């Protein structure tokens, strides 16, 4: 919704949250939601921000790839060698954005049909997309977010479409044993103390009394599989929410941070 709102302001040439938007054509590539859903959201955005409907209709193009194979780059294997190739969808997109000022691709997991954990391949895909945008003189906004199930119940694994977890949601449970994705430098060392005390005494012939006490104490152990975050957490410029249920509060905090950065930029100039 935020990316579509920004695209609508570029198409209408309207200021957004006190920031100037360059007026010109905007292209919204929807690979997750059908065009009908995007237009429904636009009908809510236009009156909410007082945008010009005629300017939106003239300058905002929605490309629907939700119901077909519209990946922009694909990994292929030839004679045992893997490589990335542009798809027909990428070539068609390049032809449709020659006059665009902003290109929005929703989202990365649908646009990139390759190994999302292979950094070199992902970097090449992002650079290729940025190269096409620069050739058109446009900005590009590539959306990459976790899937809806991971947002509601917590992610698992180490792929970018399902692994992101807030600091209050604990750590994924199925990471490779030789991989550490993140460790807070301020995390205290955890430790466990154990002790026992035993008394034995022979009372009578063939009778033994045995009394024992066993105790243990654990301190600073990490909490794995903690329950999902249930509130918005703001730590400086880092804003953490559950996802879809907290879109409203997240948007308000995001705009507040963005306005602060804009004010600092104006002061620096």
For each of the domains in the chain, give its residue range(s) and CATH number, in order of start: 2-144 (3.40.50.300)
Instruction: Identify the CA nearest to 105 among candidates 51, 26, 162.
Output: 26
CA distances from 76 to 111, 122, 152, 161, 187 (A): 15, 14, 33, 21, 43
Give the residue-averaged pLDDT of 41-45. 93
pLDDT (0 to 100) of residue 164:
46
Give the residue-averaged pLDDT of 154-178. 49
pLDDT (0 to 100) of residue 230:
58
pLDDT (0 to 100) of residue 168:
46
pLDDT class of 263 with cuts at 50, 70, 90:
low
The residue ranges of DSSP E strands in 65-206, in sequence order, are 73-78, 81-86, 102-106, 112-113, 139-143, 191-204
pLDDT (0 to 100) of residue 196:
82
Indicate the average pLDDT of the chain: 78
d(CA 240, CA 233): 5
Instruction: Identify the CA nearest to 113 among candidates 86, 92, 149, 133.
Output: 86
Tens-place pLDDT, residues 220-241: 776 555 545 556 777 776 777 6
User: Which string of DSSP letters, residue by residue, matches 205-267?
Assistant: TTEEEEEEEEEEEEES---TTPPPP-S-EEETTEEE--SGGGHHHHHHHHHHHHHHHHHHHHH
pLDDT (0 to 100) of residue 153:
52
């Amino acid at each position: 919704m935020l990316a579509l709102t920004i695209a609508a302001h570029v198409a209408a040439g309207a200021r957004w949250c006190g920031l100037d938007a360059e007026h010109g054509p905007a292209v919204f590539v929807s690979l997750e939601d059908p065009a009908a859903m995007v237009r429904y959201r636009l009908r809510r955005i236009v009156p909410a921000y007082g945008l010009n409907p005629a300017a939106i209709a003239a300058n905002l193009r929605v490309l629907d790839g939700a119901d077909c194979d519209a990946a922009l780059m694909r990994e292929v294997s030839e004679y045992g060698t893997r490589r990335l190739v542009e798809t027909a969808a990428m070539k068609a997109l390049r032809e449709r954005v020659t006059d665009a000022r902003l290109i929005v691709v929703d989202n990365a997991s649908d646009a990139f049909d390759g190994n999302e954990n292979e950094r070199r391949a992902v970097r090449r895909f992002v650079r290729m997309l940025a190269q096409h945008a620069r050739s058109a003189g446009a900005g590009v906004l590539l959306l990459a977010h976790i899937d809806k199930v991971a947002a509601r119940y917590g992610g698992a694994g180490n792929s970018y479409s399902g692994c992101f977890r807030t600091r209050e949601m604990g750590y994924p449970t199925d990471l490779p044993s030789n991989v550490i994705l993140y460790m807070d430098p301020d995390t205290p060392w955890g430790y466990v103390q154990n002790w026992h005390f035993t008394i034995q005494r022979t009372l009578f012939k063939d009778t033994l009394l045995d009394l024992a006490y066993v105790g243990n104490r654990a301190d600073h152990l990490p909490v794995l599989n903690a329950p999902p975050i249930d509130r918005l957490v703001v730590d400086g410029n880092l804003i953490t929410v559950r996802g879809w249920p907290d879109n409203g509060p997240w948007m308000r905090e995001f705009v507040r941070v963005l306005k602060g950065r804009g004010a600092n930029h104006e002061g620096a100039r």
